[in-house]
Amino acid sequence: MNDSLNFVKPYLRGWPIIIGAMVLAFLIASRYLQYVTPMYESTAKLRLADLTEGVPNSNLFKDLDVFASTQKINGEIELLKSYALISKALEKVPFEVQVFRSGSIRKTELFQDSPVIITPLQWNENLKDVTFRLSISENQDLTIRDEKNNVYSGHIGDTVLIENSLAVIQLNETLLKEKNYLKIADEYLFTVNSLSKQISQINAGIDIIAVDKDIPVIRISFKSSHPGKAAMFPNALAEAYIEDYIENKYGAANVTVQFLNERIAEISEKLVESEEMILNYRDVNSITNIKQETETDLRQISQLKIQQTNLKMSLEAIKDLEKYVQSGKENFLELAPNFEAFTDLLSTEIIKNIKQLQAEKKDLLLQYTEKDEKVIVVDAKIQDLTSYLAESITNTRKNLQTKYDKLSFDISESEKVFIEVPEKERMMTILNREFEIFQQSYNFLNQKKIEAEIAKAAKIAFHRIITPASISKEPVSPNRIIIKAVSAILGMFGAMSLIFVVHMLKGRVNDQASVESNSMIPIAAAVPKLKNDNEKEDFFLKTIAQWEVKGLLNNNQISCFTGFDHKHGVSFIAKEMANAAWRQSRKVLLLEIRNQDIEPGSDFYQEEIINKNTIKGIVSASQLKTVTTKDWQEFLQKKASEYDQTIIINTDFGQPYTLATMAASGLNIVCLDTRLTPAKLITEVDLIKEEYKLPQVFLALNRAGYNPSLIRESIQFIQKGLKTLKRKG
């Protein structure tokens, strides 16, 4: 958890800088807000006429825009932003002359709060958009200076000649009665704005949007440094929009009425001509009603065809019966014809008589022979009846054939009537179509004429100002709370960025995690900031025990403590380890290699007794240069054999005998300081170990987890500086 929060430590250490930056940014923002010009905003809401509902959709007022389509909200917004409408709105507001009260740092627009009223009478174009400085004295004398420093003098109420232009400068009596505390004698700035500049100022502050895409309501917002000015223009623009709508509607309606009158007269003449053509064609072709006449003839032909069909079926049946009877005439009694097509009563009675005679003959044949008179008489009767029946069938067939031919002739004659019908119908359709076109046009134009005349007479608009703009009491910008808060936050981020940059440029070891991420050499000890002797004693005794358990520390062993600088904790850790070993009644040799010279003629090695178990040996680095590496290493081995522990405070990396001393040691501790050792040196330890094959190399981190307060370090730095000055003094 601590390792994951290591990145926070530089910011915790630099919290005074962060707080100071936030306070400074807050103060700067507060100072800025004292001089910035506040902006006020007022909003008016305009509801557009909805042609799909309400009064505009009634029969009387329907489509008062004559041929206008449903209004597009975006189109109306662009119309409100147009040069034409803004120009009309500017005619309703006194925006031509701007008056400012001039201050040492900023200027304040007065508008209707100005104690003086400046009215240009004849103002040349070359003097428009030019700023003039107006000074009014206590006795109401005035002095006007232009940008070229030309001076024009006068008195309140006079008409002042400025170059070749005239302007009246007088007191605002109405305002001064209401606010008699207003100061008149002061420094002012005024400008007579051209129309283009007024429009550019309006465009810079106006915002026109739709409340919702499905709701025909437009919101007109305007920002200005004066609240009265901000409230006045949205209302003026909405009024100008409605007036322009009515004006355009009336003009369109007037033009439309004239156009419709001309078209109606033209269509009326063509309609009369079409009526006369239809009448003449009917008279020439004796047409009353083609449709009814045709329907009557068709109905008659249909009935005839039904009769023809029935006759044809009866005729076909009787033909089949006649053919059947004629083919079996010799054996008539053996025939079994179908008499469905021949069903009159006489034929039925004849069939019955034939059947009775057949039965009677069968009975007679039981008693008599074929040649008996009774049998012969019966055969004669049967022969007469069958001949009669066959002749009757033939006559019936002839009669049906005659009727069928007659019906076919009648149908053919009736159908001749329809030969001329298509042409008559085509001509009548053409004539009626032309007549209907002219009639529809005539009716449509008359209806539109009525609507246009209503629109011309009714000078009203269904657009409404549903929310007029009111004077805002609070400015919308600058937002003081947000600006101060954002300034403080920016100050915080700026300070944090500065701390981050300094921390990265400084590039110190900082913590155990940064060492482990940059080096493969294990950390043997992470020495915290120890405040007193008891903490030092406990920590280093614990460290010796841990090293012995891990097998790092053995009897008669040389432990070499090396670093890139002695200030990085080399001497401190080596001496404390020697003290801890001494407390355990070990015989300790603390050997320190110093760069300072010793007395001439002395040996390179000298000893001094610290206590009964600790001997401090001092080696002169300059004298050591006269000793070979082999002799030096043998010397160290000999000394180590005389003591339980030999602890060497080695020279810094880069010195001549630093690596030789480390090679002769059984344990090499490279000391790093979290506040002093550059992080880039960590990898160098790995390279040195690999290149020179140094035995048992471990790292010791001095002041691990130490994150001193910036205030404390500043105090210490000041105290150190004072001590230095005292010594010099």
Q: What is the pLDDT at residue 69? A: 40
User: How distant is the alpha carbon of residue 178 from its chain centre?
Assistant: 50
State pLDDT tens for residues 3-51.
Answer: 555 566 667 767 788 888 889 988 998 888 888 888 899 999 988 876 5
The token pair at 687 is 């390279």
Half-sphere exposure of 357 (CA within 13 A, CB side): 21
Rounded to the nearest 5°, which phi and psi values hold at 161?
-95, 115
Intra-chain end-to-end CA distance of the chain, in Å: 50
Give the dihedral sign, CA 125/128/130/136: positive
638 compared with 620, residue with greater pLDDT:
638
Do residues 706 and 509 lie in contact, with contact meaning Cβ atoms separated by under 8 Å?
Answer: no
Name which of 136, 147, 138 is nearest 169 in CA terms.
136
Instruction: State the angle between helix axes of 421-457 and 290-327 in degrees (0 to 180), rounded to the nearest 10.
Output: 150
Is the pLDDT score of 529 beyond 70? yes
For the segment 301-321, the average pLDDT, to the nearest whole number, is 79
State pLDDT tens for residues 451-464.
Answer: 777 777 766 667 88
Name which of 561, 558, 509 is nearest 672 in CA terms.
509
Place of tokens 């034939």: 354
Domain positions in the chain are 3-36+478-504, 97-192, 507-709
Separation between Cα atoms, residue 672 and residue 51, nearest integer Å: 85
User: What is the second-level CATH architecture of the domain 507-709?
Assistant: 3-Layer(aba) Sandwich (3.40)
What mean pLDDT, rounded, does the chain reach?
Answer: 81
Comparing 9-23, 24-38, 574-588, 655-669, the range with the smallest average pLDDT is: 9-23
Separation between Cα atoms, residue 263 and residue 20, nearest integer Å: 85
Instruction: State the angle between helix axes of 15-35 and 710-728 in degrees (0 to 180), rounded to the nearest 10.
Output: 100
Place of tokens 């083919």: 327
Q: What angle do CA 118, 122, 127 make, to 5 degrees?
A: 80
Per-residue pLDDT band at 220 (split at 50, 70, 90): very high
State pLDDT tens for residues 123-146.
Answer: 988 889 999 999 999 898 999 998
Per-residue pLDDT band at 223 (split at 50, 70, 90): very high
Place of tokens 């449509």: 444
Is the pLDDT score of 74 beyond 80? yes
State pLDDT tens for residues 681-715.
Answer: 888 888 888 888 888 999 998 888 776 665 666 66
Amino acid of residue 262: E
Separation between Cα atoms, residue 154 and residue 541, nearest integer Å: 98
Q: What is the pLDDT at residue 42? A: 92
